[in-house]
């Protein structure tokens, strides 16, 4: 008579034997699809959400090839120029700049763009409902009114500096959004464009001397890449930082993020990608937006700045200690 | 997080107790006048003019104050075996909470300016109830004149007007207006510790032996208040007065939860020393009233954090 452990081993063996052919059969049934991921500043939670959504597909075995420009506009151009669209079934692009370049170059393959704040103004789509071309995707547009109403729980702003990379088109749309609520919330916007890395110290000098109440960081990859140094100076001068990219709160020590959940954005882009791979035309898929504003706060930064974060805000926020 | 806000407040109140004991009420009247005529009005303006005016919110707070005070008054009359009219001052001591001293700083530290603005409205209605129902029960007549003499009422109205009708000023005038506003803001921030000290000050004049007479009133004040407020919150949620719906930015939702938290916190405050009229160098209150103040204040050190925990669990946790 077999003992108990032998019996368990026997059951396990049976399970493995039975499940092996079914899994191999499953992967054999799934159609292989090749996706090119064109990124400007490496993978973010948006790409994580995109990948996770694609892996849930029962119809496709998705193979993703990543092309990272490593924050170089020239490298991005080289990547897109060098791509052979016939080798891929779908293109995923991150950010306005990469998406614009891709839409210009790739005409016969579907493009799923992500983290593009204003796809219509960026000429990526004719409208939010239908792009009218081979692209669709997800937008990181946030309601500035909601953002500033949330911000009013934490601080009162009279002068707001808006720092952005002047060569990137996306922050300009965000600045226009901020300007549109300026009167309602009674603050002035101090424009702080940055040309390159060398001009950042000068921009910071301008912010400090203007005695601003807070600095706003748009969803700007260049500024994100240089955020560590900028945040250090701002925190030293006790100037609060308000960001759109949630990771900046954890990674760069920004005080508060009022933006979309990048993971969710990736999931939305992934849903559109799967629909396209199943045969739907990109132009028939509306551009998606996240439903809720994601609030992230950094308690350590709040302590440095001497800012008291109210409990009701903390209860709805991702809190970084 | 809540204790991070509560502990500094206890420390400042203790400083007030020490000052009261050391000063022996010599400067209590000056202190009170400074608070009532300068600092509290500035605080009211500071909070209200930065807070979006919402008549529904004011209605919710007014109705809640009416229910809380009404129910506790009835319970107090029964428990303390007092007459409904012509009873002792222990009735207002049991019913009326320190909404004008302890609540605003606590609300500001915990819930920011939104909490402070709601606390100011809460105090407005408590003070109104005291000068009408409270005084009528004790003295047989209301004293609206004294209520209307309080400048903080007019600063609340001014704050509402400034929020509702913002006018565009020329840039130079705007700079001066900004300076004036900064001055008011600074005074308002100064009001917070001062209010706490003015709460602690009369406690320094009391003796621990007074506590015995105030046991029923003090316990009733500190326990019945939050229980009735929680009931009000439940009714508000059921009737949709404070709906649980979330919007895109969830701010409406947050605001409703903040109102609920403020109502529960406000109702959990210890006895108001204003209700007892501890003025100048003469303690006008009797032993039962001072005992109620002492018991509710001492018990508050434990019950207020417990109420804060309840708020966190029942209101701010999904």
In the structure encoding, which two tokens stand for residue B317, read together?
Answer: 């946790």
Maximum distance among all Cα pairs of chain A, rounded to whole angstroms: 86
Q: Show Cβ contacts of residue A91 under 8 Å, excluding neighbours closer than 6 positions.
A: A35, A36, A38, A83, A85, A102, A106, A109, A110, A111, A112
What per-residue confidence (pLDDT) applies to A194? 92
Q: Which 3 state secondary structure label does DSSP give A7? A: helix
> Tens digit of pLDDT for each residue in B76-119?
999 888 887 777 888 999 999 999 999 999 999 999 999 999 99
Q: What is the DSSP letter of B130?
A: I
- Residues in A closer than 8 angstroms to B177, CB to CB, are none
- In CATH, what number is assigned to the domain containing residue B63? 1.20.1530
Element (H, E) at A138: strand A135-139
Q: Which of A3-12, A312-321, B64-73, B122-131 has the lowest mean pLDDT?
A: A3-12
Greatest mean pLDDT among A21-30, A77-86, B113-122 lies in: B113-122
Token output for B80: 């303390």
CB contact under 8 A, A149 and B251: yes
Which residues of chain B lie closer than 8 angstroms to A141, CB-CB?
none
Flag the least confident range among A21-30, A104-113, B194-203, B257-266. Answer: A21-30
Chain A interface disruption, residue of B169, B254, B311, B317, most A CBs within 10 A: B254
**Is residue B282 classed as helix, strand or coil in its secondary structure?**
strand
| Separation in Å, CA of A301 to nearest CA in chain B | 15
Question: For position B50, what pLDDT does the model report?
Answer: 85
Find chain B residues with C-beta within 8 A of A309's C-beta. Answer: 112
> How sure is the predictor about B39, in pLDDT bands with cuts at 50, 70 and 90?
very high
Task: Please tell me the total count of domains within chain B.
Answer: 1
Answer whether A186 sits within 8 Å of B166, measured CB to CB.
yes
Split at pLDDT 50, 70, 90, the class of B283 is low
Q: Region B143-159: what's the mean pLDDT?
A: 92
Q: Are the CB atoms for B13 and B199 separated by under 8 Å? A: yes
Is A143 in contact with B112 (Cβ distance < 8 A)? no
Q: Is A295 in contact with A226 (CB distance < 8 Å)? A: no
- The stretch A287-304 carries a mean pLDDT of 89
**Which residues is A39 bridged to in the sheet?**
A68
Q: Provide the pLDDT for residue A231.
A: 93
Predicted confidence at residue A23, as pLDDT, reads 47
Alpha-carbon span B256 to B274, nearest angstrom: 29
Distance CA B4, CA B102 (A): 16
Cβ contact B115–A186 (<8 Å): no
Residue B71 pLDDT greater than 60, yes or no: yes
pLDDT at B230: 96
For B211-225, what is the mean pLDDT? Answer: 91
Neighbours of A158 (CB within 10 A): 16
Confidence of residue A25 (pLDDT cuts 50, 70, 90): very low
Q: Which two tokens stand for residue A25?
A: 């059969």
Q: Give the whole-angstrom CA distance, residue A248 versus residue A214.
A: 15
Distance from CA of B126 to the nearest CA of A (A): 24
CATH number assigned to the domain covering A144-259+294-320: 3.40.50.2300
- Verify whether the Cβ–Cβ distance B248 to A156 is below 8 Å: no
Report domain extents, chain A.
Answer: 6-140+262-289, 144-259+294-320
Please report where in the chains the tokens 């990543």 appear, as a residue.
A66
Say whether pLDDT at A3 is over 70. Answer: no
Instruction: Report pLDDT digits (tens) over B172-206.
Output: 787 787 788 888 888 999 999 999 998 998 888 88
Query: Which pLDDT band, with edges at 50, 70 and 90, does B281 fall under?
Result: very low
CB within 8 A of A27, min separation 6: which ones?
A61
pLDDT value, residue A242: 93
pLDDT at B279: 53
The answer to whether the CB of A320 falls within 8 A of the CB of A297 is yes
The answer, yes or no, to whether residue A6 has pLDDT greater than 90, is no
Q: Give the pLDDT score at B300.
A: 92
- Is this structure's pTM higher than 0.90? no
pLDDT tens digits, residue range B223-279? 999 999 999 999 999 998 888 877 666 778 888 999 999 999 999 999 987 666 555
Residue B229: what pLDDT?
Answer: 97
Residues of B in contact with A156 (CB under 8 A): 50, 113
Q: How many residues does chain A have?
A: 321
A143 with B248: Cβ contact below 8 A: yes
What's chain B's average pLDDT?
Answer: 88
Residue B184 is inside which H or E element, if any? helix B171-203
Distance CA B304, CA B264 (A): 10
pLDDT number for residue B174:
73
Name the band, by pLDDT with cuts 50, 70 and 90, for residue A316. Answer: confident
- Nearest residue of A to residue B178 by CA position? A158
The residues, ordered by sequence, that sit 6+ positions from B231 with a Cβ below 8 Å of its Cβ are: none
Residue pairs between chains A and B whose CB atoms are closer than 8 Å: 70
Residue A90 confidence (pLDDT) above 90:
yes
Among A147-161, B50-64, B106-120, B131-145, the range scoring the smallest mean pLDDT is A147-161
| CATH node for A6-140+262-289 | 3.40.50.2300
Domain encompassing residue B177: 2-315
Q: How far apart are the C-alpha atoms of A306 and A303, rounded to whole Å?
A: 5
pLDDT at B185: 85
Q: How far apart are CA B188 and CA B42, in angstroms?
A: 5
Q: Which two tokens stand for residue B180?
A: 């004036």
d(CA B54, CA B47): 14
Residues from chain B that touch A291, judged by Cβ atoms under 8 A, are: 248
Hey, which residues does A35 pair with through a beta bridge? Answer: A64, A90
Residue of B nearest to A291 (CA): B248
> What mean pLDDT comes out for the span A187-207?
91
- Residue to substitute from B114, B251, B253, B317, interface A, most A β-carbons within 10 A: B251
Instruction: Confirm if B106 and B6 have CB atoms less than 8 A apart.
Output: yes
Question: Is it the case that residue A39 has pLDDT exceeding 70?
Answer: yes
Q: How far is A303 from chain B (nearest CA, A)?
A: 12
**Start-to-end CA span in chain A (Å):** 58
Phi, psi angle pair for A33, to nearest 5° = -125, 140
Nearest to A150 among B1, B246, B251 (CB): B251
CA distance A187 to A14: 70
From chain A, the residues in CB contact with B114 under 8 A are 153, 310, 312
CB A95 within 8 A of CB A73: no
Per DSSP, A110 falls in state -
**Which two structure tokens, joined as six digits, stand for B181?**
């506003």
Q: Which residues of B touch A146 (CB under 8 A)?
A: 248-249, 251
Q: Do A6-140+262-289 and A144-259+294-320 come out as alike in CATH topology?
A: yes
Residue A140 makes CB contacts below 8 A (sequence gap 6+) with A114, A115, A116, A117, A219, A244, A259, A260, A262, A265, A290
Name which of B135, B116, B137, B140 is nearest B195 in CA terms.
B116
């Amino acid at each position: 008579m077999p003992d108990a452990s032998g019996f368990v081993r026997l059951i396990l063996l049976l399970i493995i034997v039975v499940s092996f052919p079914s899994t191999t059969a499953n992967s054999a049934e799934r159609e292989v699809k090749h996706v090119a991921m064109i990124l400007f500043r490496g993978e973010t939670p948006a790409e994580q959400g995109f990948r996770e959504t694609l892996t849930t597909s029962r119809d496709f075995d998705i193979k993703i090839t990543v092309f990272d420009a490593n924050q170089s506009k020239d490298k991005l151009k080289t990547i897109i120029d060098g791509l052979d669209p016939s080798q891929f079934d779908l293109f995923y692009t991150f950010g306005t700049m990469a998406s614009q370049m891709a839409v210009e170059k790739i005409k016969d393959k579907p493009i799923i763009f992500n983290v593009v704040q204003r796809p219509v103004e960026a000429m990526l789509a004719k409208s939010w409902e239908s792009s009218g071309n081979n692209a669709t995707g997800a937008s990181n547009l946030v309601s500035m009114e909601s953002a500033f109403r949330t911000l009013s729980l934490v601080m009162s702003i009279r002068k707001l500096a808006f720092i952005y990379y002047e060569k990137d088109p996306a922050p300009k749309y965000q600045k226009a959004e901020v300007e549109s609520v300026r009167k309602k919330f009674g603050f002035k916007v101090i424009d702080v464009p940055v040309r390159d890395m060398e001009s950042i110290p000068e921009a910071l000098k301008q912010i400090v001397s203007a005695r601003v109440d807070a600095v706003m960081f748009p969803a700007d990859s260049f500024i994100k890449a240089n955020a560590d140094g900028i945040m250090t100076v701002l925190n030293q001068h006790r100037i609060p930082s308000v960001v759109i990219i949630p990771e900046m709160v954890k990674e760069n020590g920004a005080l508060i993020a009022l933006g979309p959940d990048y993971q969710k954005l990736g999931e939305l882009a992934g849903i559109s990608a799967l629909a396209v791979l199943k045969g739907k035309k990109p132009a028939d898929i509306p551009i998606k937006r996240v439903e809720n504003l994601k609030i992230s706060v950094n308690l350590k930064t709040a302590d440095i700045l001497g800012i008291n974060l109210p409990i009701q805000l903390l209860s709805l926020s991702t809190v970084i200690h | 997080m809540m204790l991070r806000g509560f502990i500094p407040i206890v420390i400042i109140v203790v400083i007030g107790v020490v000052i009261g004991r050391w000063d022996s009420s010599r400067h209590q009247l000056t202190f009170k006048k400074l608070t009532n005529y300068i600092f509290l009005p500035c605080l009211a303006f500071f909070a209200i003019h930065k807070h979006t005016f919402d008549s529904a919110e004011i209605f919710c707070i007014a109705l809640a104050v009416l229910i809380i005070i009404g129910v506790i008054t009835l319970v107090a009359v029964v428990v303390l075996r007092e007459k409904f009219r012509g009873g002792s001052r222990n009735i207002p001591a049991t019913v009326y909470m320190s909404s004008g001293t302890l609540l605003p700083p606590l609300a500001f530290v915990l819930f920011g300016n939104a909490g402070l603005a709601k606390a100011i409205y809460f105090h407005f209605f408590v003070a109104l109830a005291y000068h009408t129902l409270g005084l009528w029960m004790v003295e047989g007549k209301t004293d609206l004149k004294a209520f209307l003499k309080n400048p903080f009422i007019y600063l609340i109205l001014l704050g509402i007007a400034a929020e509702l009708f913002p006018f565009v000023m020329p840039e130079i005038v705007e700079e001066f207006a900004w300076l004036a506003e900064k001055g008011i803001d600074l005074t308002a921030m100064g009001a917070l510790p001062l209010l706490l000290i003015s709460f602690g000050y009369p406690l320094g004049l009391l003796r621990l032996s007074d506590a015995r007479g105030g046991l029923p009133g003090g316990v009733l004040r500190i326990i019945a208040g939050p229980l009735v407020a929680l009931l009000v919150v439940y009714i508000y949620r059921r009737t949709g007065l404070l709906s649980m719906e979330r919007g895109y930015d969830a701010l409406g939702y947050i605001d409703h939860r903040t109102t609920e938290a403020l109502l529960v916190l406000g109702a959990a405050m210890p006895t108001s020393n204003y209700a007892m009229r501890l003025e100048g160098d003469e303690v006008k209150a009797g032993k039962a009233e001072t005992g109620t103040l002492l018991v509710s204040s001492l018990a508050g050190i434990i019950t207020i954090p417990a109420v804060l925990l309840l708020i966190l669990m029942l209101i701010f946790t999904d």
